[in-house]
A and B are shown apart, each in its own frame.
Chain A
């Protein structure tokens, strides 16, 4: 598969999980550039700190819920107030929780595009690319 996406941001406090997700994405071939952050604050700092080519703008952000310092919900709130809820970025909440409260909460937030269970699999990636990036790519 061609590299349809420029970059993906993975936010999870578990390094092993980040490593696995990174591997799955690389193996899938959807994206070459992957950035990993270990908590919400780190991820927010990354997104709000400009580099040589301006603010980093990943196509997809995968966010875990339970994290130290700033958890998934906290990160999303900060993100929403900084960039607005209609950001073009696709934010996917990844969780082990089967908890319906989490699911309801995630669905009520506009900024979240998807709510998926871990682990990230090639199938999930396929679905997301198909759903959000196929048409876009063709227009480009």
Chain B
């Protein structure tokens, strides 16, 4: 289809070029013709003037200067007309009759030339000169008429050919429209229809993915919610067991009880985190949040850990943003807790929070001087329950950054980290300014589950 389209364009361009070249060529020809006719016409006038000049000289016996000039011009032009040299801007006369007629006039020119040489030597034979010029005139007239006739024929030819070319162009254009452009348009319409159908399919797929996603979220919520109860029961029973029977156990039994206890506590924490994760974004009310205020609150909440590690948390001017307050708070809290947690023992944590205004969003950075993250792990850390350290080295369930990613997502932003192992890391996240323009998270009714 593409080649046909190009072919059509090429034909059109060729047609236009041929037309233009033809017109230009014949216009040039016409110009030269006109020039030739003009010179031929002028020869008649010159012959008259030469005749008159001879009469004047006879009467007044003045200088033959003007006459010489006129004859020279007359002669030059005469031979110019017969010449085949293109450099004199004349189209060489190819018509043999005209050439012959011009040649027949050569003696007339030669006669006048000889008369001009006789001036001052012998008396002029004016009647012979008159006769000579009179015979020249009608012959030259005939030549001019023949030239004009040829030129007219050329014009007729140009007009006819132009008409022919015009009709040819018209036919070719019509053929192009019928055989190239109409089929192209048809196939384009077809392709368009196909594209809109595919778009529709995609939209449907997206809707169904969204639906499936919400179902999954619901399953996560329900499962984690329902798992809480049996886990709590086990947890309580282990506690009762410890209180009531631990003294009757031997060392191994106590060890086992302790493992049971740690395992159930961990299970409880994981389920609680999973539940919290599935609840993110369920409360939809977005309000104006003062980030600095949020950081003040978090600093108070984390006071124990901050005092213990002598951590320094700093921030400059921070904006007021639109968002779900509880979740923005969770986001900052998780990032700051991580920065406090992932430190070498005895090292003073330094954390700085900053924000830069961009066109459509705010770019926040949370930088620390902690242990950093290996480059191969910078993406993994945002997936749910992903841990890169052993439990005994750094405690936690591994859901904190997944929380952050979900919160940022709900606020139409992105989160990423830049880090070098051992040199701390900087978390970047964006929050969209216009929270109404976020796609993909439609209003959701709160899950209704009773105990």
| Chain A interface (Cβ < 8 Å from any Cβ of B) | 14, 16-17, 19-20, 23-24, 27, 64-66, 95-97, 99, 101-102, 118-119
Contacts and interface: CB of A to CB of B under 8 A. Distances in A.
Interface stretch (B137-145, B176-184, B227-235): B227-235
A127 to B, nearest CB: 19
A18 to B, nearest CB: 10
B52 interface: no
Given A27-B243, A96-B229, A96-B232, A64 B237 contact: no
Nearest to A93: B451
A137 B158 CA distance: 128
A95 B240 CA distance: 20
Nearest to B239: A20
Given A20-B240, A27-B243, A96-B228, A101 B448 contact: yes
B304 interface: no
Given A27-B243, A96-B228, A20 B233 contact: yes
B229 A20 contact: no
A99 B240 contact: no
B261 to A, nearest CB: 15
Interface in B217-263: 225, 228-229, 232-233, 236-237, 240, 243
A102 B450 contact: yes
Contacts of B228: 96
Contact of B236 (A65, A99, A119): A119
B229 to A, nearest CB: 5
B110 to A, nearest CB: 128
B449 interface: yes
Contacts, number: 42
Nearest to A64: B451
B449 A17 contact: no
Given A96-B229, A99-B449, A102-B450, 20 more contacts: A14-B229, A17-B233, A20-B233, A24-B236, A65-B450, A65-B451, A66-B450, A66-B451, A95-B450, A95-B451, A96-B225, A96-B451, A97-B449, A99-B448, A101-B448, A118-B229, A118-B232, A118-B451, A119-B233, A119-B236
Interface residues of B, number: 13
A68 to B, nearest CB: 13
Contacts of A17: 229, 233
Nearest to B226: A96
A27 B228 CA distance: 24
Nearest to B275: A98
A22 to B, nearest CB: 10
Nearest to B244: A23
B241 to A, nearest CB: 10
7 contacts: A20-B237, A95-B450, A95-B451, A96-B228, A97-B449, A97-B451, A99-B450
Given A20-B240, A27-B243, A96-B228, A14 B233 contact: yes
Contacts of A20: 233, 236-237, 240
Nearest to B276: A98
Interface string B294-325: 00000000000000000000000000000000
In order of increasing CB-CB distance, the 5 nearest A-B pairs are A95-B451, A97-B451, A20-B236, A96-B451, A65-B451
B168 to A, nearest CB: 83
